[in-house]
Chains A and B, each alone.
Chain A
Amino acid sequence: MSSTTSTRVTEEHSSGDQPIVIETRGLEKTYFGKIDVPVLFGLDIEIRAREFVAIVGQSGSGKSTLLNILGALDVPTGGTVLINGVDIATLDDDGLARLRSDDVGFIFQAHYLLDDFTCLENALMPITIRKGEASDKERDMVLELLKRVGLGDQTNKHPDEMSGGQNQRCAIVRALANSPNIVLADEPTGNLDSRSGDEVFRLMREMNRDTGVAFVMITHDDRLAQAADRILLIEDGQIFEISKEAHRRRIASQV
């Protein structure tokens, strides 16, 4: 553990009066194999509506593992995870899929847009998966979001016809299409140049403010972490909430 002042994650933050979207108690994850690899040790986390939380930590510290578990893509080996009050351990595959569809949006480092579909079709994909087809109202809502992220004139383009930043902006809209309670972003700016990265982050922040959807973002970009509401540090399989000041000092000490 570094000398940085740290605490267990607390509820003393600006969104304390907002409902809890994700809650973990004693979350553990071990990868079992020839050699068992423990990654996360008993994490207690609360994410509330309207929050924008940054998760920082070194590569291999378990950030992505945590994010996958928070999004019900992966299951913990110990402890409980409640998404919107539902314990994911009680759900079968279809139940987990429904939970991801209804409550969670994902943004990855790679945009993972489907090459065979246009920007609009990609952005509508979560609705198409859930309902077979988007209604006119949902279509208009997604078109409006695409306009908001500056893709109003790119809706009929395929991913290979758009820039990396444009694709990632489309991925943001896709993550919001099903009106989730939380968006989990795994290094969403990691593949972008700093200008495009800043733009993508600005849009995520804007969406967070305008829609009230909670965002949890893994980032290696300290500037972006500083712009979040809260910063969570994962280190040695433990999670700590650190103040922005502590985070700044930590950065300074590492330079």
Chain B
Amino acid sequence: MKPLGDIVISALIPKAYRFEFRLAVRHLFSGGLQTLLTISAVATGVIIVIFITSLIFGLQNMMSVLLTESIPHVTVRVEDPKPKPLEIPESPVSSRIEVSASRLKFIDNWEEVVAMLRGLPNVSGVAPVVSGQGFASKGANPVGVSVVGADPELLDVITPITKDLVNGRYKGLSSDEIVIDTELAKDLNVTVGERIRLTSSSNQADSFTIAGIYNRGQGRGSAYVTLRNAQSLFGLGTSVNIIYIKVYDIYAVDGLSNTIMALTKYEARPWTLDYSRNLTNMQMMGVSAYLISAFSLIASAFAIASVLIVSVLQKSAEIGILKSMGARQSQISTVFVFQGLGVAIIGSSVGAVVGTTITYLISLPTRPAVAGQEPLALFPVKIIPMYIGLAMLAAIITTVIAAVLPARRAAKLNPVDVMR
């Protein structure tokens, strides 16, 4: 009757490697503290990788969400005319540049453009918008404000307002209602239900009832009215001057913008152009996560290699007797590579479980919530299953590479030298 271990090995391990496998497993079991140390080194490496990537990519994610959740990811508008040299008949070259006056430019065929944009890949929301400058007033002292007119249902998807409301509502906005931010409400000393007057840069004016007040925590915000109101305030008839686009992948907006510009006569501006420094910072965070991960894995590889070298020295007499019995160099080195592989698989599994648990526990505490906003996690970690898998794979590969040097050293031992 064969022992259970033999039956399992017979079922799982190819016959050509059973000797090496058996010996590696026995080494691991008899290694005691050394085995524990090497497993701990691998596990620590994996824990660091999981924790660091979760933390940094979590931070990166939070920053990009905070940065991009309230802005359109691509803005489509009529391109500003290029400044052109003033034509002076007598002079072949002019040093005078004519700059066109700033004015609202219409997207006449916006319904057609919006339908086309909704069909493009990566687009999650499209809102035709009228945007311009104006003054808000309650009695005297008009306050400058940027006015945005759009269908609340569509705009709420792109630059969310409802979630930041401190008071009142945005969705279901009627034709005489307006939503303003807390800064403007404070300046005008008004609250929900009161009426304010809005005068556009086109010198059209109308009165609105405040339906809601929001706080985005990012300084002065826009005043929101319906699309129809904004069209009449700015004299656009049935046209719009901007189309806002929301996308799924915020880092894939350059290609989308180029596509839109190729398909339409309008300018498509990705958010990355206006926030290039923030984007670079976030990319650097990603790079630093990879670097820290690589260094921690290299550090654990050195630890593993040194423990395995000690193990080879301790086993040198055993290696000698195995060689005297006919073990080939490749068999001896395979034993130690298997030993490294065993350590790697156990260590990376332990590391994945512990690292994920620690990261999850750290994600639980939250900061006190700001009024009108959702509470934020104290550590905005983001556990990415793919990175757990990659951390395990990287640790296994690194450990096996670390085991190769001691394994080669073992294989080259001269039995006559080690058995004296």
Contacts and interface: CB of A to CB of B under 8 A. Distances in A.
Interface of A: 68, 71, 73-74, 93-94, 97-102, 106, 108, 112, 114-117, 125-126, 128-133, 174, 178
Interface in B18-51: 18-19, 22-23, 26-27, 29-30
Nearest to A97: B328
A106 B27 CA distance: 23
Nearest to A121: B22
- 7 closest Cβ contacts across the A-B interface? A101-B326, A116-B26, A132-B15, A132-B18, A112-B321, A97-B328, A126-B325
B30 A133 contact: no
Contact of B326 (A100, A108, A117): A100
B258 interface: no
Say what secondary structure dominates the interface of chain B: helix
Contacts of A101: 325-326
Contacts of B320: 112
30 contacts: A68-B416, A73-B324, A73-B416, A94-B329, A94-B330, A97-B326, A97-B327, A98-B326, A100-B326, A101-B325, A102-B326, A106-B321, A106-B324, A108-B419, A112-B317, A112-B320, A112-B321, A112-B419, A116-B26, A116-B29, A125-B325, A126-B325, A128-B19, A129-B19, A129-B322, A131-B15, A132-B14, A133-B18, A178-B325, A178-B326
Contacts of A74: 416
A80 B28 CA distance: 42
B328 A128 contact: no
Contacts of B14: 132
B10 interface: yes
Given A108-B419, A114-B318, A178-B326, 17 more contacts: A73-B324, A74-B416, A94-B330, A97-B329, A98-B328, A106-B324, A106-B325, A112-B419, A114-B23, A117-B26, A125-B322, A126-B325, A128-B18, A129-B326, A130-B326, A131-B15, A132-B16
B326 A116 contact: no
Contact of B325 (A68, A100, A131): A100
B30 A97 contact: no
Contact of A115 (B16, B30, B324, B325): B30
Given A93-B328, A112-B419, A117-B26, A73 B323 contact: yes
Interface string B299-330: 00000000000000000011011111111111
Interface of B: 10, 14-19, 22-23, 26-27, 29-30, 317-318, 320-331, 415-416, 419
A133 B327 contact: no
B22 A128 contact: yes
B287 to A, nearest CB: 46
A65 B61 CA distance: 69
A71 B321 CA distance: 12
Nearest to B325: A126
A126 B323 CA distance: 10
A102 B23 CA distance: 21
Contacts of B17: 132
Nearest to A130: B326
Contacts of B419: 108, 112
A117 B30 CA distance: 10
Nearest to B323: A97
Contacts of B16: 132
Contacts of B324: 71, 73, 100, 106
B326 A73 contact: no
Contacts of A98: 326, 328
Contacts of A178: 325-326
Contacts of B19: 128-129, 132-133
B10 to A, nearest CB: 7
B13 to A, nearest CB: 8
A121 to B, nearest CB: 8
A71 B419 CA distance: 14
A99 B323 CA distance: 11
Contacts of B329: 93-94, 97
A63 B89 CA distance: 114
Contacts of A129: 19, 322, 325-327, 331
B153 to A, nearest CB: 70
Given A74-B416, A112-B321, A116-B27, A133 B326 contact: no
B414 to A, nearest CB: 8
A174 B326 CA distance: 12
- Among A98, A130, A132, chain B packs the most CB atoms within 10 A around the CB of A132
A29 to B, nearest CB: 11
Nearest to A114: B318
A116 B30 contact: yes
Nearest to A131: B15
A93 B329 CA distance: 8
Nearest to A177: B325
Contacts of B10: 133
A106 B415 CA distance: 12
Nearest to A117: B26
A58 B29 CA distance: 42
Contacts of B331: 129
Nearest to A186: B419
B29 A133 contact: no
Contacts of B27: 116
Nearest to B14: A132
A138 to B, nearest CB: 13
Contacts of A117: 26
B18 A126 contact: no
Contacts of A94: 328-330
Contacts of A68: 416
Contacts of A133: 10, 15, 18-19
Contacts of B26: 114, 116-117
A97 B416 CA distance: 14
Contacts of A126: 325-326
B22 to A, nearest CB: 7
B268 to A, nearest CB: 65
A106 B326 CA distance: 10
A83 to B, nearest CB: 13
A124 to B, nearest CB: 10
